[in-house]
Structure 1
Amino acid sequence: MPVQYENQYVTVFQSDLYQTTSTVVVTKDMILIVDPTWLPGEIEAIRQHVAENDGGQHKYLFFTHSDFDHIHGWKAFPEAVTIASRGFVDRTNKKKILQEAQDFDDYYYIERSYPVEYPQIDIIIDHDEQTIKKENTSVSFYLAPGHQADGVFAVIDELGILIAGDYASDVEFPFIHHDSEAYKHTVNKLEKVVDEKNIKLLIPGHGKCTTDRDEMRDRIGDSRWYIETLRDEIRQQKRLDVLEAFVDSFRFSRYLREEHENNKAQIQKEYRG
């Protein structure tokens, strides 16, 4: 599996599918595995990396949200303590999510050496700044609804690493599958954390990570602008050319345009109450 970014502590793997990232953070105290996905060979590369760096540390497996592409690898790490939000645990459509995962595997004739199941969660995140600390390593979690209702992002405090889930991407504008106001609130929270926590590395769920703080702020600002401008377009019931140009500026705009239309439908639904 290609490695997009690597330093002394963190390895960011990137799948060939949707530029999806899977992150492993290794310190003397813990190994944190985030959203291992997609293909069996890709997940096996992550598993081998964890095994090679296993010095008896505490192992944690963190799910940023419950989209099926982010939960495929749960059973490949049976020794890890799992982490996700209360919303993740309480999802009422778990069967639908699992069906999407199974449909993916069936469509591409994929066979796995482990079952694909909805993850059982050991540590449930209920509030912002809920923290796991082992000796000299601490991970703080923040609720992040908007893309989905059950999102969470995390900060490895001592290292200045922000694991953003499906936010702050360079290859996607916001995919608003839950609520636009909640998404905007999460974006504002990300901005505050970037500034207050002195973030040195931002890792999105899809696309390239960045160590450039100006780029972090630009991605966050672009996300906020997109949501506000799209809401203006829906309120005015008038197509805004600047918004269309923004969507077309993305590399994979033909696919992304479908998500843009979905966002419109979502905000229209919010306005209808």
Structure 2
Amino acid sequence: MSLVVRQSRFLHYNAGAFVSNGETCLVDPGILAEEIKALRHDVGAVALVFVVLTHADWDHVLGPESLPQATTVAHESYARDLDPDGIRAVLARFEEQAGVRRDAPFDPPLPALTFAKSTELEVGDLELHLEHAPGHAASMLTIYEPRGADLWASDVMSDVEIPSIVDDLESYERTLGRIATLEIGTLVPGHGTPTSDRTEIRRRLDEDRGYLEQLRAAVESAVSVGSPLQETLGRCEAVALRRSEDDAITHRLNVEKVYADLGGDANPDEVGFVRAWKEAVRG
């Protein structure tokens, strides 16, 4: 056993572990305390050497609270990406809806180890390659285990959602370009269905890259002729979505974000996922 994955009953969220020779590294260990406990049970009586947080989104930073003895690893931009007050507000509403009772306010974890571009972690006989993978989030990373060709892709290459560009389109494009150079035997997205079907892995990569290509072309065309944001949103309705109804909100936020970043007449702090996060925090 080298890769263990456990999916939450919320958000199609994947938590997991790399296990080798009596040691384990947990990845985004879970949303609920009971899920984190179940993951620890899945990996067995092995030493917990690392907990990797793939990025600073609220649902990916909850594990260390239940694992205070673990060495937490994240990208060096994690702390800058973190919004503790916003996370506490969003988490409080989520836990209320989920029926979770909390004894003390959540304190978002800070990593003990960080890195800039890449680093390697030794877990038993495994060598985990951590790479900065911005685009969805500035702090996002991926984990690649070359012996098994296992890729923990974080919040890209999902089968249940289109790319969400919280950080930067160009960075997202570069991240997918780097992933395209890897031999991937097993893919684990942050949200969605893990797969070892190489045809499916290639399909997801091609679909994500194709979506970003269409999005860029449509927004660049609109910005070049001075189209306002509302008109640009209309121009981008032709961009192919994986599941048009379910993906429509994410697509709109992507258009807003890319429109502002490419020089359209919009305030970057009032559109896209920045706007959506502010609304989520306010409730």
Bin of the TM-score, shorter chain as denominator length? 0.7 to 0.9
Partner Cα separation in structure 2 for residue 202 and residue 159 of structure 1:
11
Q: What residue ranges of structure 2 are gaps of 5+ in the alignment?
A: 223-233, 265-283
Deviation (angstroms), 1:112? 4.3
Deviation (angstroms), 1:134? 4.6
Note closer, same or farther for the CA distance 1:241–1:94 as it changes in structure 2 (3 Å cut): closer
1:39 aligns with 2:32: yes
Question: Is 1:75–1:114's contact at 8 Å kept on the other side of the alignment?
Answer: no
5 Å-filtered alignment, 1:122-133, equals 122-128=112-118, 130-133=119-122
Aligned residue in 2 for 1:272: 263
Q: Percent identity?
A: 27
Question: Is 1:72–1:101's contact at 8 Å kept on the other side of the alignment?
Answer: no
- CA-atom RMSD in angstroms: 2.1
Question: Of residues 235, 239, 243 in structure 1, which corresponds to 2:235?
Answer: 239
Deviation (angstroms), 1:216? 1.7
Q: What residue ranges of structure 1 are gaps of 5+ in the alignment?
A: 1-7
- With the length of structure 1 as denominator, give the TM-score of the two structures: 0.85
Partner Cα separation in structure 2 for residue 135 and residue 12 of structure 1:
18
Note closer, same or farther for the CA distance 1:207–1:134 as it changes in structure 2 (3 Å cut): closer
Aligned residue in 2 for 1:4: none
Partner Cα separation in structure 2 for residue 123 and residue 37 of structure 1:
20
Aligned residue in 2 for 1:215: 200
Question: Is 1:15–1:38's contact at 8 Å kept on the other side of the alignment?
Answer: yes
Question: Of residues 165, 170, 178 in structure 1, which corresponds to 2:154?
Answer: 165
- With the length of structure 2 as denominator, give the TM-score of the two structures: 0.82
Note closer, same or farther for the CA distance 1:210–1:134 as it changes in structure 2 (3 Å cut): closer
Question: Is 2:4–2:42's contact at 8 Å kept on the other side of the alignment?
Answer: no
Partner Cα separation in structure 2 for residue 40 and residue 131 of structure 1:
28
Question: Of residues 7, 32, 35 in structure 2, which corresponds to 1:14?
Answer: 7
1:140 aligns with 2:129: yes
Partner Cα separation in structure 2 for residue 90 and residue 68 of structure 1:
14
5 Å-filtered alignment, 1:43-192, equals 43-50=36-43, 53-55=44-46, 57-91=47-81, 93-112=83-102, 116-128=106-118, 130-134=119-123, 136-192=125-181
Aligned residue in 2 for 1:3: none
2:132 maps to a residue whose letter is L
Aligned residue in 1 for 2:252: 261
Deviation (angstroms), 1:24? 1.6
Deviations 1:120-165 (A, max 9, x none): 211102113x112255221111101100111000112322211010
